[in-house]
Amino acid sequence: MSAETVPQKPVLLTGASGALGRVLTRALGEQGWTLRLTDRVPFPDPLPEGARFQLADLEDGPAILRLAEGCGTILHFGGISVEHPFETVIGPNIRGLYHAYEAARRERARMIFASSNHAVGFHTRSEILDDTCSLAPDGYYGLSKAYGELMGGLYRDKHGVESVFLRIGSCFPEPTDARMLATWLSFADLSRLITRATLAPNLGPAGSVVIWAASNNSRMTWWRHDGRAVIGWAPQDSADSYAAALEGKTSGNPVVERYQGGGFTAIDYSRRDTGAA
Ligand code: NAI
Ligand code: 15L
């Protein structure tokens, strides 16, 4: 196996038993990668050759440090993945994130952080965002992702830890509503993205990049300019072929339709209007 397709050191994947963790385990396993998988629930699939799984809670700092020993990359996909009350989010997504960054610092590993479009979800759909746009979380979940990107900045500036911040749109087998005609990321594009983010020899002078992680959807007019050229990634799939079936599939809720974050923005929404002009 050539050094250009397989990382030299093992790769730690948190959230391995989740939807995207399973997709990545299969794809990266097929590429011959040495994977250390972890989650707080058992891994439900057969393990690929070169992979080993260990149950651990992200809130158990020493366990995460042990799991990361010798790893060159941490794919941090574990945690609460949709909107929940603050008290539910804080342990896995804030304390757990801190443990993952401490492990990256100790190992001098690159962090590939599954951030989310919900870190910027309260930007309106008429805005075009660059990777330098202001954070605008649309709930406690999005806030935890924004915090993760800020924590990555701290660990870069203070400790030299490299980070790839993936602002993932909607990564599912296929798009299922009109919003996803913009935000959809195919599983194959995700796997190629993780491959490039891991194997890129460096992340440029800044030491971190933001990626708008969506496929090549012609309706993706909200996001532009990111670090994809630095890591050598270009999405190959597109939601466009689903347009005829999904174009009319909207929510009917003016708040949901106004903002990029869609349904998450309307959860526990208590303004009396539909948002800032
Ligand atoms: P998922 O909910 O299927 O997987 C998350 C995994 O994290 C689960 O297996 C869960 O058991 C594990 N986990 C939760 N708390 C934990 C803890 N305290 N300790 C150890 N493991 C814990 O979510 P999915 O869809 O696979 O997403 C993966 C990552 O990508 C998440 O961080 C999510 O926020 C992010 N993301 C996903 C998007 C998508 O469209 N699927 C979009 C944007 C971001
Ligand atoms: C996310 O961050 C979630 O993890 C995922 O379940 C979807 O809700 C996605 O965003 C989205 O915005 O479609």
Q: How far is Cα 9 from Cα 30, in angstroms, rounded to an integer?
A: 17
Q: Hey, which of 23, 77, 174 would you mutate to test ligand 1's pocket, going by the most ligand atoms within 8 Å of its Cβ?
A: 77
- Backbone torsions φ then ψ of 242, nearest 5 degrees: -95, 0
Within-domain flag for 99? yes
Within-domain flag for 87? yes
Nearest CA to ligand 2 atom 2: 116
Domain region containing 196:
11-266
Does ligand 2 lie within 6 Å of residue 115's CB atom? no
Predicted local confidence at residue 277, as pLDDT: 60
Within-domain flag for 115? yes
Count of beta carbons in the 10 Å neighbourhood of residue 223: 25
Task: Give the N- to C-terminal CA distance of the chain in Å, as an integer.
Answer: 55
Which of 78, 163, 170 has the alpha carbon at shortest distance from 118? 170
Nearest CA to ligand 1 atom 1: 18
Within-domain flag for 167? yes
Predicted local confidence at residue 142, as pLDDT: 99
Predicted local confidence at residue 1, as pLDDT: 44
Residue 170 CA: which ligand 2 atom is closest? 13
Does ligand 2 lie within 6 Å of residue 215's CB atom? no
Dig out the tokens for 77 from the structure: 């996909």
Within-domain flag for 5? no
Does ligand 2 lie within 6 Å of residue 144's CB atom? no
Contact indicator for 189, 217 with CB cutoff of 8 Å: no
Residues assigned a catalytic role: 141
The residue whose two tokens read 């397709």 is 5
Q: Hey, which of 17, 20, 120 would you mutate to test ligand 1's pocket, going by the most ligand atoms within 8 Å of its Cβ?
A: 20
DSSP 91: I
Within-domain flag for 94? yes
Please give the tally of structural domains in the chain.
Answer: 1
Q: How far is Cα 92 from Cα 150, in angstroms, rounded to an integer?
A: 17
Predicted local confidence at residue 275, as pLDDT: 83
Nearest CA to ligand 1 atom 34: 81
Residues having CB within 6 Å of any atom of ligand 1: 15, 17-21, 39-41, 57-59, 77-81, 92, 96, 114, 116, 168, 170-172
Nearest CA to ligand 1 atom 33: 81
Within-domain flag for 4? no
Task: Please report, for the domain that includes residue 234, its CATH number.
Answer: 3.40.50.720
- Over the chain (277 residues), the average pLDDT of each successive run of 10 is 79 99 98 98 98 98 98 99 98 98 98 99 98 98 98 98 98 98 98 98 96 97 97 98 98 98 98 82
3-state secondary structure at position 206? coil
Does ligand 2 lie within 6 Å of residue 117's CB atom? yes
Count of beta carbons in the 10 Å neighbourhood of residue 83: 21
Q: Which ligand is nearest to the CA of 43?
A: 1
Predicted local confidence at residue 2, as pLDDT: 46
Within-domain flag for 3? no
